[in-house]
């Protein structure tokens, strides 16, 4: 656990200027969510969970060259004295946990990985999730809403990143509303209930206002 401050400093250096919803506020909330989930899963390795929370977006292919970022991260973790097993445990989590990595079939994750994935996915839903989707959509110049464009089904990773046919509202149907059923732990599923209801209410109100009904 004494290595965590150095890990937080590494993630901070990498992501402090992020303006796509993967910045320090996101990492802080993911770590905070993970601490809640850890209370229900005391057998999980707290250090691995928290380290992976802080590092999970430092190798994201949307934000950086993943191969280069991974070798730099490995070298850093070795340099601060993590064991080979700890490095492997962290890398296995952060390379397998993303929504896109799990689009065409679920990847097997360790218990620690399941907690980190849940903690990250909880931060993609609810009120925070609404703001992050709108923020990300703005950053990528997505259309806000177009009732003629239907949400896409059976998305491949390539299609998921193809934003010409995407709308911010469709992203709720293509990803955000699906998350509650994809969470690993009971504790996360319970936390997701309220967030799911909030998103459904938001979408209903949005469409009513769009259609001049409210
Ligand atoms: P992952 O890193 O797990 O693959 P994403 O990159 O899909 O996850 O999502 C990271 C954040 O960006 C999430 O909050 C997500 O909702 C948002 N996001 C991703 N794609 C879109 C999109 N096409 N439109 C709006 N928001 C998006
Ligand atoms: Ni994340």
pLDDT of residue 97: 97
172 lines ligand 1 (CB under 6 A): no
Other Cβ atoms closer than 10 A to 33: 22
Tell how far the Cα of 83 is from the centroid of ligand 2, in angstroms: 25
Question: What's the whole-number mean pLDDT along residues 151-169?
Answer: 89
pLDDT of residue 111: 98
- In the predicted model, is pLDDT for residue 149 greater than 80? yes
pTM over 0.75: yes
The residue contributing the CA closest to ligand 1 atom 27 is 133
Q: How far apart are CA 106 and CA 97, in angstroms?
A: 9
User: Residue 141's Cα: distance from chain center in Å?
Assistant: 20
- Specify burial of residue 167 (Cβ count, 10 A radius: 0-12, 13-18, 19+): buried
Question: What's the whole-number mean pLDDT along residues 184-210?
Answer: 98
pLDDT of residue 199: 98
Tell how far the Cα of 57 is from the centroid of ligand 2, in angstroms: 6
Place of tokens 């110049």: 141
26 lines ligand 1 (CB under 6 A): no
Question: What's the whole-number mean pLDDT along residues 56-83?
Answer: 92
């Amino acid at each position: 656990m004494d290595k965590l401050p150095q890990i937080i400093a590494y993630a901070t250096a990498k992501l402090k200027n992020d303006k796509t919803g993967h910045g320090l506020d996101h990492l802080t909330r993911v770590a905070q969510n993970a601490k809640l989930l850890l209370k229900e899963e005391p057998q999980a390795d707290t250090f691995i969970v928290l380290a992976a929370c802080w590092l999970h977006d430092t190798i994201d292919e949307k934000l950086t060259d993943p191969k280069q970022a991974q070798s730099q991260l490995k070298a850093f973790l070795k340099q601060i004295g993590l064991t080979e097993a700890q490095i492997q445990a962290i890398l296995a989590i952060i390379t397998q946990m993303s929504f896109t990595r799990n689009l065409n079939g679920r990847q097997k994750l360790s218990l620690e990985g399941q907690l980190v994935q849940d903690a990250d996915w909880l931060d993609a839903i609810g009120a925070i999730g609404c703001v992050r989707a709108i923020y990300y959509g703005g950053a990528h110049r997505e259309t806000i809403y177009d009732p003629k464009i239907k949400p896409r089904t059976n998305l491949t990773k390539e299609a998921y990143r193809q934003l010409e046919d995407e709308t911010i509202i469709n992203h709720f149907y293509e990803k955000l509303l699906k998350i509650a059923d994809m969470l690993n732990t009971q504790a996360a599923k319970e936390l997701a209930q309220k967030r799911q209801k909030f998103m459904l209410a938001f979408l209903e109100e949005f469409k009513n206002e769009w259609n001049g009904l409210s």
